[in-house]
């Protein structure tokens, strides 16, 4: 049989098709989410003490009737122990509950539901082609990477995130999925941007920053330590909320309703804790806040994220962690005039996320894209420090499991 003179193969076309399908779903999800969110944004103040519990009740009823859609830990378990098989049957519950959770103002982002659904699309496609073993797992991981990509606009960073999130120490276990994930991510992002008409530039408009000298790397190490401490505090708060939730022997819709009441109360006191933080982070960038307020806001956001997820609401933690890091980084930059605000904010954002999610490489790549920072070496310093100072037992416990 005559071989093709170029490297392009049927497998590459398959990866691209997967990306196109994931991009179509992601664009549809994002458009629906944006429209629902616009309706919820009109509510504020004391009305949230009614709106948020009612939304929590609706979320709980969706899960009660359609089943528990799982979370990121379950996805990682399935990648390790079920050949990467992610079930489609959990998608209706995940899609509906996450749309309500995120749009109404829960402190968790769309990355978790997006990744679960797009990963299951990879599984579905593999089943149609009767693929098994590593081939099936590879398509599931490629689908996950596509889901990350449409949110962060960084195919390379998202591919590494899909691989890093699976382990707490390395990314080499499923290295064969790198190229399929990259191809699928590029295709998914192209479709997503074409349909939604969203910009391809940075998400947050930080002042331009250039490395001035070795002092900047020393600063990155300092900010990395702060981010790691913040990561430990977030994990501690989350575990306390998790234990409290476990003490409530109640149906899921009671837990989600109580979580809504807690989120509503926090939003009344700290309005910037509402929603997952993408637009609120821009407010932190542009606003004039005191050091004490920024620290209190960061702690309040940690509590809001913890209540959201342990209370049964659905969503992801990456962008909320970036928001927390931005608050603390800006507070640090105000302590001493010699500290560069942009460097402090981005480095703390990187370190707290690397501490909690154990993803130093992808965190660096993602933040370079999201912030428009061309010199990302200091971010890498902070990310690595956050990774190495993380708790021995990972926050996402399934990261420590292997086949």
Does 403 have pLDDT greater than 60?
Answer: no
Q: How far apart are CA 384 and CA 185, in angstroms?
A: 25
Closest CA to 271 of 107, 134, 54: 107
Query: What's the longest Cα–Cα distance across the chain?
Result: 72
As a whole-number percent, the residues of the chain with pLDDT over 70 amount to 95
Q: What is the pLDDT of residues 187-218, one digit of tens each?
A: 999 999 999 887 666 689 898 887 777 788 99
pLDDT-based confidence at 396, cuts 50/70/90?
confident
Mean of the per-residue pLDDT values of the chain: 91
pLDDT at 1: 44
Residue 322 in tokens: 């970036």
- Inter-residue contact 183 to 11 (CB < 8 Å): no
pLDDT at 3: 54
Q: Give ∠ CA 355-255-54 in degrees, rounded to 5.
A: 110
Q: What is the pLDDT of residues 237-256, one digit of tens each?
A: 999 999 999 988 789 999 99
Main-chain dihedrals φ then ψ at residue 27, nearest 5 degrees: -65, -45
CATH code of the region 10-196: 1.10.3080.10
Q: What is the pLDDT of residues 42-52, one digit of tens each?
A: 999 999 999 99
pLDDT at 77: 79
pLDDT at 153: 87
CATH code 1.10.3080.10 for 214-400: yes
Q: Provide the whole-model pTM.
A: 0.94
Instruction: Considering the chain, tell me which residue range(s) the CATH 1.10.3080.10 domain(s) occupy.
Output: 10-196, 214-400
Q: What is the pLDDT of residues 271-328, one digit of tens each?
A: 999 999 999 999 999 999 999 999 999 999 999 999 999 999 999 999 999 999 999 9
Sequence-distant (6+) residues with CB within 8 A of 320 are: 107, 108, 109, 276, 277, 301, 304, 305
Q: What is the pLDDT of residues 124-182, one digit of tens each?
A: 999 999 988 889 999 999 999 999 998 888 899 999 999 898 876 666 567 788 999 99
């Amino acid at each position: 049989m005559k071989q093709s003179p170029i490297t392009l193969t049927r497998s590459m076309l398959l990866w691209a098709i997967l990306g196109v399908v994931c991009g179509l779903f992601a664009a549809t999800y994002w458009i629906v989410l944006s429209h629902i969110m616009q309706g919820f944004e009109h509510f504020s103040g004391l009305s949230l003490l009614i709106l948020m519990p009612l939304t929590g009740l609706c979320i709980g009823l969706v899960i009660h009737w359609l089943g528990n859609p799982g979370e990121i830990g379950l996805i990682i378990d399935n990648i390790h122990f079920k050949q990467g098989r992610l079930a489609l049957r959990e998608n209706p519950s995940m899609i509906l509950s996450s749309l309500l959770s995120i749009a109404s103002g829960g402190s968790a982002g769309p990355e978790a539901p997006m990744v679960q659904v797009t990963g299951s699309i990879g599984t579905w496609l593999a089943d149609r082609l009767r693929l098994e073993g590593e081939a099936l797992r590879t398509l599931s991981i490629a689908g996950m990477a596509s889901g990350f990509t449409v949110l962060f606009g960084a195919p390379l960073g998202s591919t590494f995130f899909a691989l890093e999130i699976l382990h707490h120490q390395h990314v080499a276990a499923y290295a064969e999925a790198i190229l399929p994930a990259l191809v699928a991510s590029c295709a998914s992002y192209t479709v997503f941007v074409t349909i939604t008409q969203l910009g391809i530039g940075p998400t947050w408009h930080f002042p331009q920053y250039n490395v001035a000298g070795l002092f900047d790397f020393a600063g990155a190490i300092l900010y990395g330590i702060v981010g790691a401490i913040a990561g430990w505090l977030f994990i501690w708060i989350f575990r306390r909320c998790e234990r409290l939730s476990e003490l409530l022997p109640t149906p899921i819709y009671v837990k989600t309703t109580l979580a809504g009441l807690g989120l509503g109360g926090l939003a009344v006191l700290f309005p910037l804790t509402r929603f997952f933080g993408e637009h609120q982070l821009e407010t932190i960038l542009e606003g004039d806040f005191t050091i004490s307020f920024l620290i209190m806001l960061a702690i309040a956001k940690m509590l809001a994220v913890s209540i959201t997820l342990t209370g049964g609401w659905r969503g992801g933690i990456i962008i909320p962690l970036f928001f927390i890091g931005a608050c603390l980084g800006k507070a640090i930059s105000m302590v001493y005039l010699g500290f560069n605000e942009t460097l402090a904010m981005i480095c703390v954002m990187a370190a707290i996320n690397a501490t909690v999610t154990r993803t130093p490489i992808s965190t660096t790549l993602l933040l370079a894209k999201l912030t428009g920072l061309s010199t990302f070496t200091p971010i890498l310093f902070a990310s690595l420090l956050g990774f190495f100072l993380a708790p021995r037992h990972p926050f996402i416990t399934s990261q420590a499991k292997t086949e």
